[in-house]
């Protein structure tokens, strides 16, 4: 494997790969060093995180020394102790690693056509590339050049536009379908009602928020002491019908898009098996389950993180003059309850119980809310009755992710090193059964040490002269 592959294996797979294969102390020692490099390679640094890593790394190395033989530990294994001080001087790791320069050198070596004169060939190829790049500015926008070639994860780049202003952002998201498009009927009236309700409740507009607050207040007045869960259930069931009764269709006080939205979606939706947005490539489970890459894992961040599998990608259209369009993901959710459907270990690994599902019918989310994860099974020697899947977060391609990631190593993530009961003086460092071992008397050893360090330079010069005379 190349160095980048080793980093991916160490940072992504080591924290969970050997949990079912090795003893707990061995797995935790390997997972700790993987989590350490994962925290060291984050985009942003905090001084308190660096201080915590500085306290953890000696314990991590000592735990590894209790497992691996002494011959394994050369200078490279002990070098990790000094990486944190280097990080404080340098900053994030992308300012110091060699991957950008290695990619640049590979690009330059690809320009070498004459192996007898490599440097001149690289210079000639670079001049040709710069010349073609300069002349491409004078071409028409319809001419396809390397400068305007679509990216691999092209999402269209242009949001949906409408003839009027003030349309909510959920109808103007950037995204592009992939594969064959199909027009199908709604699978059931329940799906249609659930999708319409979800769009209304996630429409970030002051008018819609005021109607939602009015509905909640009326429910609480009608049923004193009602719980928040029952209010949400009534909102999912009755909010759409209640809202239609509150607004007249020809009321000029409300904008045009608001009238189109509350009427409900059309009877047919557009579906596809792929969707590109925000640097992610999403596949439906039916399309991607036989592929080498799994792009159907979904995660929605919130007060409670939801993990699920993407079942359908649909584009909902609303009738009217504006033809509002919104892309929804229909997902099958896992149980989000901690320690029952989701568990977290001390190295930042998130596990999902593949046999438990969310018991509430809320299958739809906006495509703009979805983040991508990959569900990996634990390597094990024999099958177990409880199958846990590890959720690996996918980084979007070609995007700069804002925000700070929490460190994987918390304060109590690393176990303390056990102090041995045997005294250090009693540990035999030299094997007496070795034939090359010579037990020297203590006085001889001291005498040799004194002779070695007490000799002057004059004595050394005289020895050299005697040797030269003997040779002559």
Q: How far apart are CA 402 and CA 252, in angstroms?
A: 41
Q: How far apart are CA 268 and CA 185, in angstroms?
A: 4
- pLDDT score at 433: 52
Q: Tell me which residue of 338, 333, 344 sits closest to 306, measured CA to CA.
A: 333
Please tell me whether residues 133 and 268 are part of one structural domain: no
Please tell me whether residues 106 and 186 are part of one structural domain: no
Alpha-carbon torsion, ordered 356, 360, 365, 371, to 10 deg: -30
Please tell me whether residues 134 and 176 are part of one structural domain: no
Class of residue 36 by CB neighbours under 10 A (exposed 0-12, middle 13-18, buried 19+): buried
Please tell me whether residues 257 and 348 are part of one structural domain: yes
The answer to the question of residue 355 being in a domain is yes
Q: Are strands 176-178 and 371-377 parallel, antiparallel or unpaired?
A: unpaired
- pLDDT score at 244: 84
The vertex-261 CA angle with 259 and 264, nearest 5°, equals: 115
In angstroms, what CA-CA distances link 196 with 17, 173, 216, 272, 325? 42, 17, 18, 20, 12
Please tell me whether residues 283 and 227 are part of one structural domain: yes
In angstroms, what CA-CA distances link 14 with 36, 274, 379, 386? 11, 31, 11, 21
- pLDDT score at 406: 60
Class of residue 329 by CB neighbours under 10 A (exposed 0-12, middle 13-18, buried 19+): buried
Last residue of a domain, one of 349, 365, 393: 393
Please tell me whether residues 203 and 278 are part of one structural domain: yes
- Output phi, psi for 365, to 5 deg: -140, 160
Last residue of a domain, one of 352, 375, 393: 393
From first to last of the 472 residues of the chain, give the pLDDT tens digit: 677 788 888 888 888 888 888 888 888 888 888 888 888 888 877 888 888 888 888 888 888 888 888 888 888 888 888 888 888 888 887 777 788 888 888 888 888 888 888 889 999 988 988 888 888 888 887 777 777 776 666 676 677 778 788 888 888 888 888 888 898 998 888 889 999 989 988 888 888 888 888 888 888 888 888 888 888 888 888 888 888 888 877 777 888 888 888 888 888 899 999 999 888 889 999 998 888 888 999 999 888 889 999 999 999 998 888 888 899 999 999 988 888 889 888 888 888 988 888 988 888 999 988 999 999 888 877 776 668 888 988 888 776 665 556 665 655 555 554 444 544 444 444 444 544 444 444 444 444 444 444 454 455 445 545 544 554 4
Please tell me whether residues 203 and 107 are part of one structural domain: no
Say what the pTM is. 0.74
- pLDDT score at 205: 81
Please tell me whether residues 271 and 362 are part of one structural domain: yes
Q: In which element (H, E) is residue 266 found?
A: none
Q: Give me 151's structure tokens.
A: 């990216």
Within 10 angstroms of residue 251's Cβ, the number of other Cβ atoms is 10
The answer to the question of residue 352 being in a domain is yes
- pLDDT score at 173: 85
- pLDDT score at 313: 92
Please tell me whether residues 278 and 220 are part of one structural domain: yes
- How many structural domains compose the chain? 2
In sequence order, the 6+-apart residues with CB closer than 8 A to the CB of 7 are 37, 41
Let me know how many helices (H) and strands (E) the chain has, helices first. 15, 13
The answer to the question of residue 399 being in a domain is no
Please tell me whether residues 344 and 217 are part of one structural domain: yes
Q: How far apart are CA 312 and CA 402, in angstroms?
A: 28
Please tell me whether residues 108 and 205 are part of one structural domain: no
Please tell me whether residues 214 and 104 are part of one structural domain: no
Alpha-carbon torsion, ordered 402, 406, 407, 408, to 10 deg: -120
- pLDDT score at 435: 46
The answer to the question of residue 273 being in a domain is yes
Cα dihedral sign for 188, 190, 193, 194? Answer: negative
Can you give the residue range of the structural domain that contains 368? Answer: 169-393
The answer to the question of residue 58 being in a domain is no
The answer to the question of residue 281 being in a domain is yes
The answer to the question of residue 226 being in a domain is yes
Last residue of a domain, one of 393, 410, 427: 393
The answer to the question of residue 173 being in a domain is yes
Q: How far apart are CA 219 and CA 208, in angstroms?
A: 17
């Amino acid at each position: 494997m190349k160095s980048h592959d080793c980093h991916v294996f160490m940072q992504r797979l080591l924290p969970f790969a050997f949990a079912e294969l090795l003893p707990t102390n061995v797995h935790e020692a390997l997972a700790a060093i993987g989590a350490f490099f994962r925290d060291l390679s984050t985009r942003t640094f905090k001084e308190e995180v660096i201080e915590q890593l500085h306290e953890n790394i000696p314990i991590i190395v000592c735990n590894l020394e209790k497992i691996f033989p002494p011959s394994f530990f050369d200078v490279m294994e002990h070098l990790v102790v000094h990486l944190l001080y280097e990080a404080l001087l340098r900053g994030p790791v992308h300012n110091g690693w060699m991957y950008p320069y290695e990619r640049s050198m590979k690009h330059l070596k690809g320009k070498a056509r004459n192996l007898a004169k490599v440097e001149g060939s690289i210079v000639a190829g670079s001049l040709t590339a710069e010349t073609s790049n300069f002349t491409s500015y004078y071409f028409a926008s319809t001419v396809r050049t390397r400068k305007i070639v679509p990216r691999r994860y092209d999402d269209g780049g242009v949001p949906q536009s409408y003839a009027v202003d003030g349309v909510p952002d959920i109808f103007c998201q950037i995204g592009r379908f992939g594969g064959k498009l199909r027009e199908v009927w709604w699978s059931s009236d329940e799906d249609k009602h659930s999708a319409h309700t979800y769009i209304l409740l996630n429409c970030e507009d002051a008018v819609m928020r005021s109607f939602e607050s009015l509905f909640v207040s009326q429910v609480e007045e009608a049923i004193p002491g009602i719980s928040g869960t029952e209010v949400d259930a009534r909102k999912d069931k009755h909010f759409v019908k209640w809202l239609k009764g509150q607004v007249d269709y020809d009321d000029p006080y409300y904008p045009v898009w608001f009238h189109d939205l509350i009427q409900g979606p059309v009877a047919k939706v557009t579906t596809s098996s792929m969707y590109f947005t925000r640097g992610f490539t999403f596949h439906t489970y039916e399309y991607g389950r036989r592929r080498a890459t799994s792009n159907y894992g979904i995660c929605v961040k919130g007060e409670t993180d939801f993990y699920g599998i993407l079942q359908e990608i649909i584009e909902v259209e609303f009738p009217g003059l504006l033809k509002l369009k919104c892309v929804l993901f229909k997902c099958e959710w896992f149980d989000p309850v901690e320690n029952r459907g989701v568990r977290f270990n001390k190295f930042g690994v998130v596990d999902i119980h593949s046999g438990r599902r969310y018991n509430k019918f809320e299958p739809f989310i906006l495509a703009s809310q979805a983040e991508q994860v990959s569900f990996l099974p634990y390597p094990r020697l024999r099958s177990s009755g409880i199958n846990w899947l590890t959720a690996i977060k996918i980084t979007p391609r070609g995007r700069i992710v804002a925000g700070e990631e929490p460190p994987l190593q918390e304060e109590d993530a690393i176990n303390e090193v056990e102090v041995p009961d045997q005294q250090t003086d009693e540990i035999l460092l030299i094997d007496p059964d070795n034939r090359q071992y010579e037990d020297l008397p203590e006085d001889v050893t001291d005498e040799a040490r004194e002779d070695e360090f007490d000799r002057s330079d004059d004595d050394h010069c005289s020895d050299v002269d005697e040797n030269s005379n003997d040779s002559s």
